[in-house]
Amino acid sequence: MTSSPAFPRVHIATDHAGMELSAHLVQHLSAKGYEVVDHGPKAYDAQDDYPSFCINAALAVVADQQAGVHALGIVLGGSGNGEQIAANKVKGVRAALAWNHSTAVLAREHNDANVVAVGGRQHTVAEATGLIEAFLAEPFSNDERHVRRIGKIAAYESTGEVIE
């Protein structure tokens, strides 16, 4: 299955705390028609270093988007905080931590977030799945004020200039 506007390619990464949720999401989203690319880890290691997994997933989202492929990312951890921070270090990524339905939807609708972070220890599998599905399904509003604000963030990311 290849990505389409209805079903973006999904890049997913986790740390050891999110492995069970990640395995569930890979299977669940694939069954729904998403093309899911798993960036690891492949085996449980309580001492793993999640940044490389999350950065690789974020890099893949940006590369796909630059190539014209509709793609989004998911990074998972115990809280999702460190994973969100790691993903946000990749130029072109807007990773948002979703902790309820509203934050998942608004991340896409207002911020055009291209990566969602979820804490696997903060939600049941069903709750986390709902957050992910809400994020993936929500389009960006393209409202002028949101486009303008995202442009200012991108300008700072590229130039270091703060635009008023």
Residues tagged active-site: 83, 110
Q: DSSP letter for 69, please.
A: -
Q: How, if at all, do strands 71-77 and 9-14 pair?
A: parallel
Q: How many CA atoms are closer than 13 Å to the CA of 143, on its beta-carbon side?
A: 11
Residue 129: CB atoms within 10 Å:
17
3-class SS of residue 21: helix
